[in-house]
A = this chain, B = another copy of it.
Amino acid sequence: MYLAVLAGGSGTRFWPASRKLRPKQLLPLGPAWPRSLLQRTVERLLPLTDRSRVLIMTGAHLREASLRELPQLTADNFLAEPRAKNTAPCIAWATALVFRDNPDGILVVVPSDQHIADEPAFRAAVERAIESARAGAITTIGVVPSRPETGFGYIERGAPRAPGVFSVQRFVEKPSLEKAKEYMASGRFDWNAGMFVFRARDMLSALTRHAPELAEGARKVAAERDDKARYEAAVEAFFDSAPSISIDYAVMEKEEGLAVVPAEFGWSDLGSWESAWELAEKDDGGNVGAKGALFIDASNNLVQSSGTSENRTIALLGVSDLCVVDTGDALLVMPRSRSQDVRLVVEALKERDETLL
């Protein structure tokens, strides 16, 4: 089994903690502290494979910072994208590399910036999906919904194929609230969490069918694997010409015969400071405090501090439901309920001080 970790995110939702050169997956968000989400993602799946079979797919500009989070890996584990082209080109690249070694090799593709509370349950789902992939189905792990969420895509289950494995009826886009409630009530829909398990040969033929230029380009890259200079030139050429497209659009929504493994393992996409607060350990007053935080008549606040003096004190007096995020060069104060609007600050800073992005 090969573990392919999607670690190219450039999220701005966690500004000021997240930056272009320190995206979300490199942060110790929620209960991951003091480890980063990327580190937790790799540790969670290393029991199922060998470190030589881990592929970290990230932007070239993030390789160094990502490597610092993964001391058990080396630069050889990295597939560094010269430019961001969404998920399909890098998954094609990883698939072609594995195919060259072993066409029956199984890839487990996971995002690097999610939270998973129940790791044994997660690994069990991955193992079930591996079984399904071994039988020839591109398999996705679906998260059983716990609320009628309108922010995620859904996967509809079709006929059962094996215990805990279903055919995929269809992928559906982010629904209206009404639709989301219907989906949840039906018991036949799972959240698309972007986790895919497949044999290299199966993904490569699916790519050949639905996105032949990606399949062709990725094969060319893999063919040059043994000559560093030629390989790098081939990667460069591939990312120059590749379309920017997600694996969902390029393959999943078009491919027949997909399978889904619905599972529950305390999943969160950790989409904002609000969810970081929800997941973190709290004191009796519901506060999440960095070292040095002092809460007086203050409840349900999140204080996050990094890059500041060791002895810095952050005192919250008489406030509730605030996020206070301090990174030394920047400080953000907002109600937790405005977490989705951090982008407004990022947009204002584009006009004013790009160095903070």
Contact = CB atoms under 8 A, between A and B. Distances in A.
A344 B348 CA distance: 36
A333 B353 contact: no
A330 B16 CA distance: 18
Q: Is the interface of A mostly helix, strand, loop or mixed?
A: mixed
A333 B315 contact: yes
Contacts of A337: 318
B341 A318 contact: yes
Contacts of A328: 309, 312
Nearest to A313: B330
Given A349-B294, A355-B311, A317 B334 contact: yes
B312 A330 contact: yes
A59 to B, nearest CB: 25
Interface string A229-250: 0000000000000000000000
Interface string A276-307: 00000000000000000010110000000000
A82 to B, nearest CB: 30
B344 A332 contact: no
A18 to B, nearest CB: 14
Contacts of A332: 315, 317
A313 B344 contact: no
A17 B312 CA distance: 14
Contacts of A355: 311
A345 interface: yes
A179 interface: no
A338 B317 contact: yes
Interface of A: 16, 294, 296-297, 309, 311-319, 322, 324, 326, 328-335, 337-338, 341-342, 344-345, 348-349, 352-353, 355-356
Given A315-B330, A319-B334, 17 more contacts: A16-B315, A294-B352, A297-B341, A309-B328, A311-B355, A312-B331, A313-B353, A314-B333, A315-B332, A315-B345, A316-B333, A316-B334, A317-B333, A317-B344, A318-B334, A319-B335, A322-B333
7 contacts: A16-B313, A313-B349, A314-B331, A315-B345, A315-B348, A326-B331, A331-B331
